[in-house]
Structure 1
């Protein structure tokens, strides 16, 4: 119990001690302790410094805007931000720059085109005129270019260069040169010399506010326009008007309004004046002299253009009317030539009405003209009539007679020619006509034949073709193909001569049976060889081959009794290369004669056998055995087939 009381007493004493300690701290530290607590809370809160920095950032940027180190520090982050923005959304940057870039691009293109057009006009006008020839002679004599002579004679003035010079320091701020200017190069020397001259004038003459305004330097003028902070100096070629000085003064005034602070703070650094050069470029103007010829041309040029337009318009109207009249004439010509149409009245009093006589079978006038626009423009009026033109008569005859597709009708004057094949009933009906059609005085039916089916049957019965021969009829012409004997082919003409309705016969595709047999025998005989030993002695095995050759030649002679083909047999002798050339030639001839003699002994007429020495060249050693032979060569003369159609 005593221990618990002792613990409560100790706790009460500690609380009293802490309270006393806090009271002592308050007396000793006072307000500093409160500030330390506030500082600790500020450090421990991460959002509070960010909010304070955001409130002071705009003021800090405004105060350090002119500091080059601040600008350099911001340059890289800004570049990266812009690059990132372009990569992420290029369209947004393009939309933002569009109001600025569009007018600038249009202005640049317009100025460039105007300059090009003006230069071309100047070159053309002065190249093909008398004045241009004089200037070319002057350029040749003076040794200068033609362009320089033209410029000297036509240029009123041209601003070659513009310099903006700081008054207090005499330093060159910016300059601009014309594109054709190549002689004004040392800009700093120009500004220094101009400043020295200005100082000299102000120091040497009274009126300190009055300075140098212009200087004549050869063919050029130097205009000096002095402002409160800067001076604009322009190098000018030619005779500039007074209005140009006012224009330059306006430019200098705009420069002072736009760059007043930069002029006051200028210490040689040109970076604040990055936008000055375009304004100086606007000062580089030029103007050409207007000659009396140009003034005179201005007076009549519009009238010339009006006259040319008027003549062109009249010419176009005349050409258009000419083409239209040509189309009308072509349409009328087609109507007059078309069968079944008669032009009675063509556009009386130059109007559109056209009166025609038209057969019911004639083609439509609009189709005949082959020009839909002309046909629609004309007022076509037709009256019916029956035409006697041959094409219309033939159409009418086809309608009346209704011939089959195998029959053709032709008119020769008033004679109707009927050709082809037709059924027997139609031919009988045509022959029985009592009244001839209109426009026909006589009919010619000599070329009209019965249909092929009937005619073919009569032909087969008349000629009795052997097996293997085919007959075809084409327009009443008989064609034969196959293999037949010579006697049947020879008697064909007599068999078909009296067949009615047949107009021709073609047997050229027939093959003679005897001739085919003879050609097979000739194929066996050709190249048949007979071997020899020494000199012109036949070897024993040549006997059977000679017997075979004699039997086949006898068959050919028997066939020749039927078919008059010409039979010729050459016997060719060969030799090896032994002996002299004369000996070899004699040996070849003897061997051929030996074969002929042997065939003659076997019943072959020697009149159809002809010895023929072999070729003059000798075979090689490996073909020596072949050289000791004789060979047969059989020829049949072609036999023409007898005609099968004789009328």
Structure 2
């Protein structure tokens, strides 16, 4: 027996317990390696832990992240106040208009109930409905022109027109001057000029944070006409500001958007 064999026998005697322990560790490491390499086995062990953590995270969000998110939103709203107002204005405007429209509808139904007998009398005495329809058609409101104008500068951003008109740049400047003069003269906070009566035309003005929209209307300007005009403006402006690149859109592109929204619109 040589020296090497003697040393090996001595090792086996002295480190017998350690050898068994090392063998166990080796077996466990091999089992772990097998689990990591097998996706099914690995998923079965990890997924329950992840799902448990996610459920705890969802439950704790209001307490842990809620205040942080709220504070972050406040900061962002302060930084980008104009963009937030422009984004919310059309949505809030529609909500308010729906509520008002419902209230007006209920009032109209009550009035019709009171005036029902008078309507029958008119029918008995032969007032022609056909004549009324012709008169209503002649007096119907029509959109003649739409202008999108920058509030601060009075510059024309885009426009749509049914017919040839005078210089649109001049019109936008004139409307901006009139609007600013009236609003400054009355000095009423958060109030804007909404309507200019110009002979056979009514000019409906709708203000936003950075722009205002002027819709020139011919014919009868009624509450229904005003509501319909506002709906069209809100729809256009909401689509307009949804575009990330709206600030850099060319006038021709916005002109096309105005035409799509207002060209065939009925009031």
Q: TM-score range by the shorter chain?
A: 0.3 to 0.5
Q: TM-score, normalised by structure 2?
A: 0.43
Q: Which has the higher strand share?
A: 1
Q: TM-score, normalised by structure 1?
A: 0.19
Pick 1 or 2: higher relative contact order, CA cutoff 8 A, min separation 6. 2
Larger Rg: 1
Q: Which has the higher helix share?
A: 2
